[in-house]
């Protein structure tokens, strides 16, 4: 059974000239799968993510997570935002435990887990820092630690590394792969960076714009665990060229 | 290091230049016989002010001997009461108006239609309602502070970053949590802006209402001293109001710096 199941999904923004953001989307994501939604800006990839997150409602079609329809955002689907979206008035620690705290869990139920997740993302020494005191990459680490602490089984990531410099981005991609290997959550990763999509995902869905649709499904033939060396392999280069040709047309 | 302190000295001296010139001209102009009763010299103002603060009231026949502290207290207490009331009602109401469409539809038209009426225009009505008593002054001070606080708080609550709300909902926050843990802290910088503007207006309101509606405080002394021709007290009173306004503003800024550490770090 798929973890996320999307069938004939449409999203149209009403107005004088209605905008067809998504048209006839079909998508099946297996539990523990890491998929990438790849496409130019305006192709509706973020809209699709927002629908799965429950931030917006589809105009038409079926959207199931764990077999149940999505009507609102919830802790089962953790979102990592483009600009981290941490609460600037809370420390790293307070940001990470925000979820369990508002859900009314007892401290003992989440503290160990929060410590562990901060350790996984390498921020154990920054618990008392405010977000403004961190670099962009560190803020995204907090964003990841916070949904891991939340215990989300689905991670929805909206171009989370897009604003980072190349080196930091690579470190973050490796970190994400590492987290995924350890905890095996289902991940939908939105990006416009072809290299990033190939390096991270098992399956890449290439999307096209106006109206936003899924153009092609590509299975990435790289073994796990992956390393930076994979990005210099022939298989990688060949796949990149294939996708580039797809996007050009 | 030496350059920096030299630059500071230069800046201080430049800043003092015009005030010094004004003081000299004032002293010269005030010494002219035809200015008697209109413009007392700075020295006379300081003398009068000193007596107003420190001199023994004696039999209490001269209201400008040793009564400064109690008048400052009267005015400050009224400002504190009216302003506290304005913040107590203005902040929660502003948050709700900015956050809930329903509350906005209920309260916004009323506030927006009353707001263009200057608080000074409320004076006669306020006296009719409360009489020549503290309540009249406090009502005006409340009104003056209230608009600024409610309008700025509303704006702050409206401008909450959408992704922060989404992040909170994603983590399982209820609507009540959103209000307390996301909207309120997000709006805090705007709330403080509103408090500072509101406090300034509250000082205007206290002076105006004391001139008319009560028989004590810096505003009352200001008008009373003018009537009996004590222009030195008028001027000393004006400066006193300025100092009190400045100090109370500094107090809010002090609290703001404590509360909004994250914001201070952000802007540096």
Give the tens place of pLDDT for each residue, B39-74: 999 999 999 999 999 998 877 778 999 999 999 999
In chain A, the number of structural domains is 2
The answer to whether residues A203 and A236 belong to one domain is: yes
Please say if the pLDDT value at position A1 is more than 70: no
Interchain CB distance below 8 Å, B263 and A75 = no
Residue A174's pLDDT is 96
The answer to whether residues A117 and A27 belong to one domain is: no
| B170 contacts in chain A (CB < 8 Å) | 53, 73-75, 77-79, 147
Q: How confident is the model at residue A184 (pLDDT cuts 50, 70, 90)?
A: very high
Please say if the pLDDT value at position A32 is more than 90: yes
Q: Please spell the DSSP secondary structure of B186-225, one letter per residue.
A: HHHHHHHHHHHHHHHHHHHHHHHHHHHT-S-SHHHHHHHH
Average pLDDT over every residue of A95-115: 96
CATH of residue A223's domain is 3.40.50.300
Tens digit of each residue's pLDDT (9 = 90 or more) over B139-191:
999 999 999 999 999 999 999 999 999 999 999 999 999 999 999 999 999 99
Residue A247's pLDDT is 84
B171: closest CA of chain A, how far (Å): 5
C-alpha distances in Å from residue B174, one per residue of B95, B101, B171:
16, 17, 9
Using the 3D structure, point to which of A128, A152, A176 is the last residue of a domain.
A152
DSSP letter for B32, please.
S
The answer to whether residues A66 and A160 belong to one domain is: yes
Nearest to B163 among A75, A85, A89 (CB): A85
The answer to whether residues A161 and A244 belong to one domain is: yes
| A11 burial type by CB count under 10 A (0-12 exposed, 13-18 middle, 19+ buried) | buried
ipTM of the complex: 0.94
Q: Please spell the DSSP secondary structure of A149-192, one letter per residue.
A: HHT-SEEEEESTTTTS-HHHHHHHHHHHHHHHHHH--EEEEEES
Residue A79's pLDDT is 97
To the question of domain B68-266 being in CATH 1.10.3720.10, the answer is yes
Please say if the pLDDT value at position A238 is more than 70: yes
The three-point CA angle B151-B153-B154 to 5° equals 65
Residue A249's pLDDT is 66
Average pLDDT over every residue of B94-104: 95
Please say if the pLDDT value at position B202 is more than 70: yes
Radius of gyration (C-alpha) of chain A in whole angstroms? 18
The answer to whether residues A37 and A54 belong to one domain is: yes
The answer to whether residues A137 and A167 belong to one domain is: no
The answer to whether residues A67 and A159 belong to one domain is: yes
Q: Please spell the DSSP secondary structure of A11-68, one letter per residue.
A: EEE-SSS-EEEEEEEEEEE-TT-EEEEE--TTSSHHHHHHHHHTSS--SEEEEEETTE
Tens digit of each residue's pLDDT (9 = 90 or more) over A148-159:
999 999 999 999
Nearest to B177 among A72, A78, A102 (CB): A102
- Spatial separation of the C-alpha atoms in residues A113 and A109, rounded to whole Å: 8
**Segments forming the whole domain that contains residue A110:** 87-152
| B177 contacts in chain A (CB < 8 Å) | 102
Residue A96's pLDDT is 97
Nearest to A88 among B168, B170, B262 (CB): B262
Q: Given strand A19-29, what is the order of strands in its sheet?
A: A19-29, A4-13, A60-65, A68-69
Residue B35's pLDDT is 86
The answer to whether residues A14 and A41 belong to one domain is: yes
Q: How confident is the model at residue B3 (pLDDT cuts 50, 70, 90)?
A: confident
Residue A62 lies in a domain: yes
Looking at every residue in chain B, the average pLDDT score rounds to 93
The three-point CA angle B74-B79-B84 to 5° equals 130
Using the 3D structure, point to which of A120, A152, A184 is the last residue of a domain.
A152
- Spatial separation of the C-alpha atoms in residues A199 and A74, rounded to whole Å: 29
Tens digit of each residue's pLDDT (9 = 90 or more) over B213-250:
888 999 999 999 999 999 999 999 999 999 999 999 99
Residue A81 lies in a domain: no
Residue B61's pLDDT is 78
- Spatial separation of the C-alpha atoms in residues B126 and A110, rounded to whole Å: 56
| Residue whose tokens read 């008035």 | A89
Residue from A54, A56, A50 nearest A157 by CA: A50
| Residue whose tokens read 């981290």 | A84
The answer to whether residues A100 and A132 belong to one domain is: yes
Residue A80's pLDDT is 97
Residue from A108, A186, A174, A181 nearest A147 by CA: A186
Interchain CB distance below 8 Å, A81 and B167 = yes
The answer to whether residues A67 and A112 belong to one domain is: no
The answer to whether residues A9 and A49 belong to one domain is: yes
First to last CA, chain B: 22
- Residue A68's DSSP bridge partners are A65
Residue A101's pLDDT is 95
Average pLDDT over every residue of B117-133: 90
Tens digit of each residue's pLDDT (9 = 90 or more) over A61-71:
999 999 999 99
Residue A123 lies in a domain: yes
Q: How confident is the model at residue A90 (pLDDT cuts 50, 70, 90)?
A: very high
Tokens representing A245 are: 């040709």
Please say if the pLDDT value at position A239 is more than 90: yes
Please say if the pLDDT value at position B1 is more than 60: no
Residue A33's pLDDT is 96
| A130 contacts in chain B (CB < 8 Å) | 261-262, 265
Check: CB of residue A79 under 8 Å from CB of residue B167.
yes
Looking at every residue in chain A, the average pLDDT score rounds to 94
The answer to whether residues A162 and A243 belong to one domain is: yes
Please say if the pLDDT value at position A135 is more than 90: yes
């Amino acid at each position: 059974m798929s973890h996320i199941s999307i069938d004939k999904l449409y999203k149209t923004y009403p107005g004088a000239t209605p905008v067809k953001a998504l048209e006839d989307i079909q998508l099946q994501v297996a539990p523990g799968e890491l998929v990438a939604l790849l496409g130019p800006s305006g192709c509706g990839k973020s809209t699709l993510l927002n629908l799965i997150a429950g931030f917006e409602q589809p105009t038409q079609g079926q959207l199931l997570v764990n077999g149940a329809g999505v009507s609102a955002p919830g802790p089962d689907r953790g979102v990592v935002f483009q600009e981290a979206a941490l609460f600037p008035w809370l420390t790293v620690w307070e940001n990470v435990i925000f979820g369990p705290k508002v859900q009314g869990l007892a401290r003992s139920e989440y503290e160990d887990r929060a410590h562990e997740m901060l350790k996984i993302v390498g921020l154990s020494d920054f618990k008392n820092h405010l977000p403004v005191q961190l670099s962009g990459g560190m803020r995204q680490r907090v964003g990841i630690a916070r949904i891991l602490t939340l215990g989300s089984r689905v991670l929805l990531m909206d171009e989370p590394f897009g604003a980072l410099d190349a080196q930091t981005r690579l470190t973050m991609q490796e970190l994400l792969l590492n987290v995924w290997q350890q905890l095996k959550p289902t991940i939908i990763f939105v990006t416009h960076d072809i290299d990033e999509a190939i390096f991270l995902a098992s399956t890449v869905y290439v999307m096209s714009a106006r109206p936003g649709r899924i153009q092609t499904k590509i299975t990435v033939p790289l073994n796990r665990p992956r390393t930076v060396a994979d990005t210099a392999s022939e298989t990688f280069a060949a796949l990149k060229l294939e996708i580039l040709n797809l996007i050009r047309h | 290091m030496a350059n920096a302190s030299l630059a500071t000295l230069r800046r201080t001296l430049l800043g003092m230049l015009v005030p010094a010139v004004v003081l000299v001209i004032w002293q010269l102009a005030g010494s002219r016989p035809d200015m008697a009763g209109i413009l007392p010299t700075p020295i006379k103002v300081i003398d009068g002010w000193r007596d107003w603060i420190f001199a023994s009231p004696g039999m209490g026949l001269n209201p400008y001997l040793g009564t400064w502290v109690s008048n400052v207290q009267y005015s400050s207490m009224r400002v504190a009461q009216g302003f506290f009331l304005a913040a107590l009602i203005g902040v929660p109401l502003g948050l709700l108006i900015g956050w809930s469409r329903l509350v906005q539809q209920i309260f916004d038209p009323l506030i927006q239609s009353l707001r263009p009426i200057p608080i000074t225009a409320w004076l006669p009505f306020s006296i009719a309602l409360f009489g020549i008593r503290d309540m009249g002054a406090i009502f005006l001070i409340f009104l003056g502070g209230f608009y600024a606080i409610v309008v700025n708080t509303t704006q702050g609550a409206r401008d909450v970053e959408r992704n922060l709300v989404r992040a909170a909902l994603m983590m399982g926050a209820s609507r009540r949590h959103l209000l307390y843990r996301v909207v309120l802290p997000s709006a805090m910088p705007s709330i403080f802006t509103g408090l500072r503007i509101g406090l300034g207006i509250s000082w205007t309101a206290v002076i105006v209402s004391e001139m008319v509606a009560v028989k004590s405080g810096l505003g009352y002394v200001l008008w009373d001293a003018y009537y009996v021709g004590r222009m030195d007290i008028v001027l000393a009173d004006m400066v006193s109001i300025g100092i009190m306004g400045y100090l109370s503003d500094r107090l809010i800024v002090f609290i703001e710096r404590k509360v909004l550490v994250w914001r201070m770090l952000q802007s540096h």
